[in-house]
Amino acid sequence: MYAKNCLRFTALYFFLFVSSLMFAQKATESEAMKAPTKLVVGVVVDQMRYDYLTRFWDQYSEGGFKRLVHGGFVAKNHHFNYAPTSTGPGHASVYTGTTPATHGIIGNDFFDIASGSMVYCAGDDQYASVGVSSDEGKMSPHRLLTSTMTDQLRLHYKNKAKVISISVKDRGAVLPGGHMANAAYWFVGGEQGLWVTSTYYMDALPKWVADFNAQQSIAQYKKPWNLLYNEKKYDLSVADDNLYEGPFKGEQKPVFPHDLPALWNQNGGYGILRATPYGNSMLTDFALEALKQEDLGQDKTPDFLAISYSSTDYVGHQFGVDSKEVQDTYLRLDLEIARLLKALDRQVGTGQYTLFLTADHAAIPVPAYLQDQKIPAGYVEANAIKQGIDQFVQDRFGAGLVSNISNNQVFLDRKAIQGLGLDLDEVQAALADYLQERTDIAHAYTARTLKSTQFVSGIPSILQMGYNKDRSGDVLFVYKPGFISYSKTGSTHGSPEIYDTHAPLLLYGAGVQPGATAERTQITDIAPTISVLLGIAFPNGTTGQPISKALKF
């Protein structure tokens, strides 16, 4: 009897043990299929080169970039795989998981073939401004041809997920928000300094935004811009007084301190803050208010907060990659990132949110500075190229056949070519051959070539990823490495060269596996990676791949 009871007890124990394992496995599997995060925070830093992480590393605090690197996943070989590398296409590509070839945002401003005029990537006269009487709110994402990961989140949860997108730049807010954002806000300078939106999203500002504007907390930033730390900490930047930087209007020299109150009226009032680190501070202020007032990350349905820090781009354009102004802006941005993370810890909970940080493009060092360091670099006269193209076409075909030249693309007048009985492919090829022979041009490709040949690497592949068959030009061309069409001061971007494509990618928080990779990843990989983490469908034009090493399973 004792032996039988022992056997019964053993069998019962084994049954209960196996059942508990099966229950635990099912529970684990069930949890594995749920989104591990309450809130995704997408941070895009405008014009951030990857090496800003490493160059200023010793001066960063423990709570900002270092926290993201030490506790998160770092993609060290992360690139844009298309050109032009500019703000509109960059934000669109981060959030759609594809390139201009598919999502259609081929530039900040680009030539519209149908209307024969230049259009703005986020401009839309069908809608009115909200929060300001000027036209600066007449925006929408209508030129974006695909869905975004923010759209897919809204679709997945039948509009229960909340998406809020903010930036100093309108396009930096409109494009990440996608077509279905609850709200997108951007900054307007002038005498007041306001956060505004468009009737595409709402008919009136929410009370909290109106109250935020009325409080005029932005007034605290009307003060001189001094170095954050002792000047000795800025030894990895060029001397403050140099020939590579552009001063603000009214300044004799582009040197510290920058007396913003004295320069105020000549530089658009509150608009001058865009080109200082204070622009990033006021964006964080507004983001934290949105986090609180919109109750983001407070229920079982994941929300999305898209933040684009734009002042880094304004500062880079004016003062250049190697300036003390750029270094100071990033040291201060590091503190803004720390402030954002602390607020997320308090409101959403440590380990309860996911954050990614990347850029919309990188930038070239000032060519004049590179020349002085004996590195091949220089400047291209865009007007000379235009004049050369017009003259060549006139001499070769006896007529003016060029409708527009923009974003290093030549748009031919199709009706004129047809009226003269010319073959479009032959005109394209002849023009490409002419451009290829110029000493200021490194590469030139026809639309015919980009449509008929599948390139898998190099410059032609990058151009092909940026070529949209319905919106791009007839001939695309590229300057020589290190050469730009720009002023002799400040940095710019837009090319398919490595200095414009290499950007950071940091992933941090819930669902992220800490680590790093030097394997090549691409900007189009971000959206599918976040989509896998959220368990939602990929944006409908996605061409990138999830970065599986960055995800915790």
Residue 135 placed within a domain: yes
* Residues 450 and 305 grouped into a single domain: no
The domain that contains 399 carries what CATH number? 3.30.1360.150
**Residue that the structure tokens 């929300």 belong to:** 303
Residue 84 placed within a domain: yes
The number of residues in the chain equals 553
The count of structural domains within the chain is: 2
Q: Could you say which of 37, 85, 87, 329 is catalytic?
A: 87
In this structure, how many other beta carbons lie within 10 angstroms of the beta carbon of residue 372?
14
pLDDT tens sequence across 57-106 = 999 999 999 999 999 999 999 999 999 999 999 999 999 999 999 999 99
According to the model, what pLDDT value does residue 553 have?
82
Q: Within 13 Å and on the Cβ side, how many CA atoms surround 95?
A: 42
Using DSSP's 3-state secondary structure scheme, residue 144 falls into coil
* Residues 148 and 277 grouped into a single domain: yes
Distance CA 246, CA 244 (A): 7
Distance CA 339, CA 285 (A): 10
Distance CA 542, CA 129 (A): 32
Instruction: List all residues 6 or more positions away from 41 whose beta carbon is below 8 Å from its beta carbon.
Output: 304, 305, 306, 307, 340, 344, 353, 354, 355, 356
Helices (H) and strands (E) in the chain, counts: 20, 20
Residue 398 placed within a domain: yes
Tens digit of each residue's pLDDT, the chain (553 residues): 555 555 555 555 555 444 554 444 454 455 667 889 999 999 999 999 999 999 999 999 999 999 999 999 999 999 999 999 999 999 999 999 999 999 999 999 999 999 999 999 999 999 999 999 999 999 999 999 999 999 999 999 999 999 999 999 999 999 999 999 999 999 999 999 999 999 999 999 999 999 999 999 999 999 999 999 999 999 999 999 999 999 999 999 999 999 999 999 999 999 999 999 999 999 999 999 999 999 999 999 999 999 999 999 999 999 999 999 999 999 999 999 999 999 999 999 999 999 999 999 999 999 999 999 999 999 999 999 999 999 999 999 999 999 999 999 999 999 999 999 999 999 999 999 999 999 999 999 999 999 999 999 999 999 999 999 999 999 999 999 999 999 999 999 999 999 999 999 999 999 999 999 999 999 999 999 999 999 999 999 999 999 999 999 8
Tokens at 463, concatenated: 């151009």
* Residues 431 and 316 grouped into a single domain: no
Residue 490 placed within a domain: no
Amino acid at 168: V
* Residues 364 and 385 grouped into a single domain: no
Is 87 in the active site? yes
Give the 3-state secondary structure percentages of the chain, helix then strand then coil, rounded to 5: 40, 15, 40
Sign of the alpha-carbon torsion through 224, 228, 230, 234? negative
Alpha carbon of 511 to those of 69, 202, 547: distances in Å? 15, 33, 12
Residue 462 placed within a domain: yes
* Residues 356 and 389 grouped into a single domain: no
Amino acid at 310: S
Distance CA 492, CA 503 (A): 14
> How does 206-234 read in b/e, with b if 16+ C-beta sit within 10 Å?
beebeebbeeeebeebeeebebbeeeebb
* Residues 206 and 252 grouped into a single domain: yes
Asked if omega into 302 is within 30° of 0 (cis), the reply is no
* Residues 361 and 391 grouped into a single domain: no
- Asked whether the beta carbons of 513 and 73 are under 8 A apart, the reply is yes
In this structure, how many other beta carbons lie within 10 angstroms of the beta carbon of residue 328?
25
The domain that contains 270 carries what CATH number? 3.40.720.10
* Residues 145 and 267 grouped into a single domain: yes
Task: Give the DSSP letter of residue 272.
Answer: G
* Residues 342 and 414 grouped into a single domain: no
Distance CA 72, CA 296 (A): 22
Residue 10 placed within a domain: no
Residue 18 placed within a domain: no
* Residues 237 and 320 grouped into a single domain: yes
What domain range is 261 assigned to? Answer: 39-371+496-550
Distance CA 553, CA 534 (A): 12
Pairing of strands 409-412, 402-406: antiparallel
* Residues 256 and 140 grouped into a single domain: yes
In this structure, how many other beta carbons lie within 10 angstroms of the beta carbon of residue 380?
18
* Residues 367 and 385 grouped into a single domain: no
Q: What angle do CA 188, 194, 200 make, to 5 degrees?
A: 75
Instruction: List all residues 6 or more positions away from 505 whose beta carbon is below 8 Å from its beta carbon.
Output: 74, 75, 78, 356, 357, 358, 521, 526
**Predicted model pTM:** 0.94
pLDDT tens sequence across 403-434 = 999 999 999 999 999 999 999 999 999 999 99
Instruction: List all residues 6 or more positions away from 74 whose beta carbon is below 8 Å from its beta carbon.
Output: 504, 505, 506, 515, 516, 517
- Burial (Cβ within 10 Å: 0-12, 13-18, ≥19) of residue 419: exposed
Element (H, E) at 44: strand 39-45
